[in-house]
Amino acid sequence: MDHKEAQDVETTRSFSTPMEKQHTDHLVLVPQPSAHPRDPLNWPVTRKYVILAVLCLASFSGAIAPLSGQLNLADQEKLYNKTKLEESYANSAALAGMAAGPFFFAPISHMLGRSSVIFWCVLFTLVCQIWAALMTDPGNYIAYVISRLFAGFFGAVPTVLGPRIVTDLFFLHQRGRAFTALHMAFLFGTIAGPTFSGFVSAHSFFPVEFWWTVGLLGLTLICCFCFLEETGFDRECLERNPNVPGGILANRFATFFFGERVVLSTTWKETAKVGITPFLIGMCPVTIIMGIFTLISFGFYVGVNALTPVWLQKPISEGGYGFSLEQNAAFTFCHWIGIIVVQFYGHYLNDRLPLALARRYNGGVWKPEYRLHVLWIPSLVINPIGLGIFGAALQYHLHYMVLALAVFIVTVGSLASVPVTVNYVVECFTRYPAEAGIVIGAYRIVYGLTISFYINPWVEAVDVGWVYGMMAFFAVFSFMFVMLLMWKGHAIRNIQFASLGSSEEGEQLRGDTLLNMEAIKDAFANCKAQDRAALITAGAASFPKIRSQHPIPGLRDLRNLTPSPIRPPHRSDHDPPEPETAAQHR
């Protein structure tokens, strides 16, 4: 036996030993990847995570920019000669832009590419921050508010195009954590922006709270240019996929300056169809039901978050707490703690619990409604309690730490629902994930957008305690819509436009298969060492996956493993290939 053959035998032995210890279930990869190396599902896990990290940074920066002037109301009040409530209209304008922008850019991204649109939107957000920082004349109030409108218009785009990229890159059993990371980055930006800006501008004139974000957006722009890639890929017709330049600079310029060169060819008719798709999705019953829940449940958090600075900075004689800007910025750390708790909660439950329910109660067969069971504790229990405490703290002017506790509880209860609701609606319209995310994002923002205009009459009518007490009861009521989907979700999802309907319900996620080690050894013994990397490829770090189609001898037998036989059964050449699997693919 020569040295090369000895290496071959050693490779087989080193692989077989750990595999013999695997007597657990295996996961079926949904969706099924193609054999093409350009398929994003086949990309190395490091490459996927780098793209996700840059996407999270873009979402974070895009959320910081429009809301960075949320706390420093005193300087603007004096400069523009407006009340604090009138100054809060700038935040409402930012929220309006965040709701409207995605509807405009979704069809454009279909034609020019998602990565290209994200890059240019980050650049225009940077320009809007410079615009706001220059609005230092007493007559610039309207221009300042418009700058906040456009900052939101461009800044929210990375978050709403992100679901499309996530579904391109990750399998169904990985998406929960990816959606959690993406939306927590965005929500953390809405919190971190006011905090950082408050500390930065506490002893300076207010434009400095916009200048620091220019540097952050510049860094984000560089990261987008270096690492973002176009993820669109047609697995059914491989010939449709364009040839992407291999050179680094050529690839970057083709992606961001001539985006149409790296995206699937399309027509103006298809682009127009993408433009109206969010409105069609918004009219489907499943979207309306989930949207009402989101409008109420998360909308109250937006209302609490947007108006907390107003309550804190009001003089004590007017029922406020008389906080300075620096104290207000320090107060926002209760949001930070809440979002960290939500991140851990979502990371450990948003995928594990639905998969466990599918395995235990449905034989491993998937239903999108399994994702909704993550919401029982945060949405039905935690959020209403936090709203009640918040109202009581303002009503009886309790210590500000009680108010901070209430804000923390509301943060946990509301933010935990965001990735779950977006993920659920996306999985109801798997062919249009970005458009589905746009609709839910709009529902999420609408309440916070409008609350500044009617909160004072509401307080005068029922008093501040009952304003938030009513919100608590409404939050409990809104969960009834989630329970309706848990109960009749399948039937409700079927009531929709025929062109939109697509989900992954019925996919078999797990199979009770004991790996047949003899077949694995035979397959490896009958192929060369250099071919083994093609037989077993890394679908995720350290977890192998078996290709459904490959010319290596013995692979057809390997795909046909069953729990009982010791040897692989006979398989006809006319049998269709079985689904691709990933052993313990997480």
Instruction: Please tell me the pTM assigned to this model.
Output: 0.69
Paired tokens of 401: 């730490």
Question: Of the given ranges (56-65, 135-144, 428-437, 532-541), which has the lowest mean pLDDT?
Answer: 532-541
Supply the pLDDT for residue 377.
94
At residue 326, does pLDDT exceed 60?
yes
pLDDT in tens, 563-579: 444 344 444 444 445 44
At residue 520, does pLDDT exceed 70?
no
Mean pLDDT over each residue of the chain, to the nearest integer: 78
pLDDT in tens, 55-79: 999 999 999 999 888 777 777 888 8
CA distance 567 to 523: 12
Q: Among 559, 551, 549, which residue's Cα sits nearest to residue 531?
A: 551
Please report the DSSP string for 447-504 in residue order.
HHHHHHHHHHHHHHHH-HHHHHHHHHHHHHHHHHHHHHHHHHHHHHHTSS-TTT-B--
At residue 551, does pLDDT exceed 50?
no
Supply the pLDDT for residue 143.
93
Supply the pLDDT for residue 465.
87
Average pLDDT estimate for 500-508 = 63
Cα dihedral: 461, 467, 469, 472 (round 10) = 130
Please report the DSSP string for 63-78 in residue order.
HHTTTTTSS-HHHHHH
CA distance 489 to 470: 28
At residue 96, does pLDDT exceed 90?
no
Paired tokens of 104: 């405009």
- Which range, 227-236, 255-264, 367-376, has the best average confidence (pLDDT)? 367-376
First to last CA, the chain: 39
Confidence band, pLDDT 50/70/90 cuts, at residue 385: very high
Alpha helices (H) along 376-415: 383-395, 400-415
Confidence band, pLDDT 50/70/90 cuts, at residue 1: very low
Average pLDDT estimate for 358-385 = 90
Are the C-beta atoms of 42 and 36 separated by less than 8 Å?
yes
Q: Residue for token digits 């929960």?
A: 176
Average pLDDT estimate for 486-513 = 70
Are the C-beta atoms of 502 and 389 separated by less than 8 Å?
no
Are the C-beta atoms of 502 and 493 separated by less than 8 Å?
no
Please report the DSSP string for 310-354 in residue order.
HHHHS-GGGTS----HHHHHHHTHHHHHHHHHHHHHHHHHTTHHH
pLDDT in tens, 160-185: 888 888 888 888 778 878 888 888 89
Residue 252 CB-half CA count within 13 A: 10
Confidence band, pLDDT 50/70/90 cuts, at residue 28: low
Q: Among 510, 585, 545, which residue's Cα sits nearest to residue 174?
A: 585
Supply the pLDDT for residue 37.
80
CA distance 9 to 20: 16
At residue 527, does pLDDT exceed 80?
no
**How far from 77 is each of 72, 85, 148, CA to CA, in Å?**
9, 9, 16
Question: Domains in the chain, please, with CATH?
Answer: 14-30+509-582 (no CATH), 40-229+264-493 (1.20.1250.20)
CA distance 42 to 45: 9
Q: 417-428 and 400-415 are packed helices; what angle lies between their axes, rounded to 10 degrees?
A: 20
Question: Of the given ranges (152-166, 291-305, 496-510), which has the lowest mean pLDDT?
Answer: 496-510
Average pLDDT estimate for 313-342 = 86
At residue 466, does pLDDT exceed 50?
yes
How many other CB atoms are found less than 10 A from the CB of residue 108?
19
